[in-house]
Amino acid sequence: MPGSEPLFARVALIGIGLIGSSLAHAIRRDGLAGEIVVSTRSPETLDRARELGLGDRYEADAAEAVKGADLVILSVPVGACGAVAAQIGPHLEQGAILTDVGSTKGTVISDVAPHVPDGVHFIPGHPIAGTEHSGPDAGFASLFEGRWTILTPLPGADEAAVGKLTAFWTGCGAKVDTMNSEHHDRVLAIVSHLPHIIAYNIVGTADDLEAVSKSEVIKYSASGFRDFTRLAASDPTMWRDVCLSNRDAILEMLGRFSEDLAALQRAIRWGDGDALFTLFTHTRAVRRSIIEAGQEVDAPDFGRHGEIAKTKESEAD
Ligand code: NAP
């Protein structure tokens, strides 16, 4: 907002991969902070962030980066949040907001909360937006536009701080919902984690098949397989951590999925065309509602071509 005070005086971005760098672009574009301080684990990534001009200041030490920041955002794999919180905890500013963007919330809360001093507002978050690309070059300002960000404030969270973080995400172009972390983890298990696990599995199976050659898999991939390969190209560290940290909800959803798959298998085996037709009609309607809700585009290639793809391939969360 040109001319008006930024929402935050200083934001510290801890982790500057796809999500951290997209935040840097959005913060800069929308004037959401007076100063952006960038910190990341490796000197190589920090150098790259500097080359890309993602911040105003660069710190190799996360503890240095958070000093004096009124907003601190952890954009590291969920399995790393606890260790990073332990490192920065003693250096967080009184009254600061500490948030994260992790794809799971229960374990992030149990790992991070013990390191948050009194007087610092820890408000966990998760933007439901992403791509299969990683690293500081992958980010872009419009990643969050029209997408949901879910905040999972802890009981008794400061309402003003939640309101300010909500305004921040709205400023990045996102729509914001709040819910408790258990509910978040169950919802995300079915809409995001299971699809990725299924994609990893089917791509792995196709790769192992001896009856179909690898060159045929690649040559004919447009016939359905291609969209799975996009999900299955997602970052291995991130998805290992998601599976480990949301284990219970994922196993529950996988149980349901396996039962339904067995029913589908039976319908195919017994030639039950009515059952197949009913299911496929129902699922087609689900896709219609997603398009109507503005969370997908109704194009034959799903809008995924060239640069446009960068703004549309945003459900690999
Ligand atoms: P990314 O592009 O791979 O970037 C990861 C960042 O975290 C890098 O700065 C990396 O530092 C740092 N990092 C990696 N391992 C670390 C460790 N053990 N300790 C400290 N820092 C570490 O990842 P991303 O896609 O931005 O994902 C970041 C977070 O966003 C994850 O929690 C993920 O669940 C969540 N998320 C991802 C998506 C998505 O689609 N990708 C969507 C929504 C939310 P170096 O490069 O310096 O090693």
* Domain end position, chosen among 149, 179, 209: 179
Last residue of a domain, one of 158, 179, 200: 179
Supply the pLDDT for residue 208.
Answer: 85
Is 36 within a domain?
yes
168 occurs within a structural domain: yes
Residues 104-155: tens digit of each pLDDT: 999 999 999 999 999 999 999 999 999 989 999 999 999 999 999 999 999 9
Domain, as residue range, for 50: 8-179
Report whether residue 76 contacts ligand 1, using a CB cutoff of 6 Å: yes
Distance 77 CA to ligand 1 centre (A): 4
**Which of 38, 103, 105, 246 most suits a substitution to test ligand 1, by most atoms within 8 Å of the C-beta?**
103
pLDDT at res. 313? 46
Same domain, residue pair 20 and 157 = yes
What's the pTM value of the predicted model, to 2 decimals? 0.92
Asked, for residue 67, whether it belongs to a domain, the answer is yes
Residue ranges for the chain with pLDDT beneath 50: 1, 301-316
Whether residue 261 sits in one domain with residue 161: no
Residue 3 lies in a domain: no
My answer on whether 114 and 250 are in the same domain is no
Residues 173 and 246 in one domain: no
Query: Tokens 């039950």, residue?
Result: 272
Same domain, residue pair 112 and 49: yes
Residue 75 lies in a domain: yes
> Which CATH number covers residue 249?
1.10.3660.10
The predicted pLDDT at position 209 comes to 82
| pLDDT score recorded for residue 43 | 98
**Collapsed DSSP state (helix, strand, coil) of residue 308:** helix
* pLDDT tens digits, one per residue of 247-258: 999 999 999 999
Residues 116 and 13 in one domain: yes
Say how many Å lie between the CA of residue 78 and the centre of ligand 1: 8
Residues 300 and 152 in one domain: no
Q: Two tokens at 46?
A: 């920090």
How many angstroms separate the alpha carbon of residue 225 from the centre of ligand 1?
A: 27
| Cβ(316) – ligand 1 distance below 6 Å | yes
Looking at the fold, whether 295 and 228 belong to one and the same domain comes out as: yes
For residue 26, the domain's CATH number is 3.40.50.720
Q: Which of 172, 182, 166, 112 is nearest to 146 (CA)?
A: 172
Per-residue pLDDT at 253: 96
Is 169 in the same domain as 190?
Answer: no
Task: Answer whether 16 contacts ligand 1 (Cβ < 6 A).
Answer: yes
